[in-house]
Structure formats: structure tokens, C-alpha cells
């Protein structure tokens, strides 16, 4: 079992000019580690981070898109795996923080925390699938994972994070979206 912050700190060492799409708890943790213009936050309609990411990957094929999803979020939009498996975006990497709970909503458990997301993704047509349970393994492989030909899916088995209230308002703002667009248009 890993800690999400630890995973994201390791990931941040490998992120350069990629678009990072993050949602809810992953978003606030990622912001604390790596606040940058090419962060895109998917709030307001839970479950759609990977759909936003797919649109961005198609719109910007010259960029790699890394999605930081949650397990509760993914369960609200499981069909996305089938859609991504059909579209096969080569520049798309989908991480899921798998802690078995709706952490952003107070920590209530998922209907089944032991669901095998990597198996689901593979069955949906995503050939490159991983499950990480140990930080050392994640640290050794994540650099290759985010550079591999997509679509790539990786399930990160993590412990539940703090249940304190998180403030999404700034990340959810129009100014943040505009800064993201400006960064893209500037070729960052």
C-alpha cells in the first residue's frame, strides 16, 4: 500500500511539458506538489477526468496527457475505459488512485474496494496496464510508464488520505482555465 502524496512527488520528478488532468483529492495533492499552468482540473461533474483527458489528447496530439483519477470517480464513468480502448490515444496515460473510498465525499467505502481496475482496463481494450502496490516499484517504473505508447492505464493502490475539507474553488476558477489555455497556446 502506497501513499498518494509520495506517488505524486515521484511522478512530479518525471513531468516536464505534459498536460496533467487531475480531479478532487488527487488535484489538491498535485497542486501542493506541482502548481503549473499545464495543470487542468476536472471538477463539477465527478467521473469525467479521463473524458476531459481524452478530448485534450485528441486536441493536442503533440502533447502527452496524464490523468490523475480517483477510484470513486472512475467507477462513476467506467464506460470511459471502453471509449479510450476504442479510440486508442497514443499520448494518453491514466493513473487511478485506488484507496477504496469516496475520500473527497467523506471517506465512505466503495461498493467493492477490491475491484481489479487494471483487469477492467485491459478487458476494455487498453493493452498497457499496470498495478502498483509498492512505492519502490512505482519509482522504478513510472518514468517509463508515462513515456510508453498509449493508451496506458495504471492502478495505484494507496491508503486513504486525510478527510479534511479541501478547497477546490481556485482550481475550479475561470482564471485557472484561461491560464491553462494561454499556456497551451504559448506552446509550453
**66 touching another protein, by CB under 8 A:** no
As a residue count, the chain comes to: 188
Tell me the window of 110-118, 125-133, 140-148, 174-182 that interacts with another protein (CB under 8 A).
174-182
Answer for which of 86, 108, 175, 186 binds another protein (CB under 8 A) is: 86
Answer for which of 82, 127, 148, 179 binds another protein (CB under 8 A) is: 82
CA dihedral 160, 166, 170, 173 (to 10 degrees): 80
Pair type for strands 39-41 and 19-22: parallel
Q: Smallest distance, Å, CB 75 to another protein?
A: 13
For residues 1 and 119, which CB has a smaller minimum distance to another protein in the complex? 119
Distance CA 98, CA 133 (A): 10
Kindly report the backbone phi and psi dihedral angles of residue 19, in degrees, each rounded to the nearest multiple of 5, phi listed first.
-80, 130
Q: Smallest distance, Å, CB 69 to another protein?
A: 12
Q: Smallest distance, Å, CB 149 to another protein?
A: 20
Pair type for strands 128-132 and 152-157: parallel
Please, are residues 21 and 42 in contact by the beta-carbon 8 Å criterion?
yes
**60 touching another protein, by CB under 8 A:** yes
Chain residues that interact with another protein, rule: CB under 8 A: 40, 42-45, 47-60, 77-80, 82-83, 86-87, 174, 177, 180-181, 184
Amino acid at each position: 500500500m502506497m501513499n498518494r502524496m509520495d506517488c505524486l512527488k515521484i511522478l512530479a520528478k518525471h513531468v516536464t511539458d505534459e498536460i496533467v488532468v487531475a480531479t478532487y483529492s488527487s488535484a489538491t495533492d498535485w497542486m501542493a506538489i506541482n502548481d503549473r499552468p499545464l495543470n487542468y482540473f476536472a471538477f463539477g461533474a465527478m467521473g469525467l477526468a479521463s473524458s476531459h483527458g481524452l478530448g485534450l489528447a485528441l486536441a493536442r496530439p503533440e502533447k502527452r496527457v496524464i490523468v490523475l483519477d480517483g477510484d470513486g470517480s472512475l467507477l462513476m464513468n467506467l464506460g470511459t475505459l471502453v471509449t479510450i480502448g476504442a479510440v486508442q490515444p497514443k499520448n494518453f496515460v491514466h493513473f487511478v488512485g485506488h484507496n477504496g473510498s469516496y475520500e473527497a465525499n467523506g471517506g465512505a467505502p466503495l461498493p467493492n474496494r477490491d475491484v481489479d481496475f487494471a483487469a477492467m482496463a485491459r478487458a476494455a481494450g487498453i493493452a498497457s496496464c499496470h498495478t502498483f502496490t509498492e512505492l519502490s516499484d512505482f519509482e522504478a517504473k513510472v518514468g517509463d510508464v508515462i513515456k510508453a505508447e498509449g493508451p496506458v492505464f495504471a492502478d495505484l493502490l494507496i491508503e486513504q488520505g486525510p478527510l479534511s475539507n479541501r478547497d477546490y474553488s481556485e482550481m475550479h476558477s475561470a482564471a485557472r482555465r484561461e491560464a491553462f489555455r494561454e499556456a497551451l497556446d504559448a506552446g509550453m
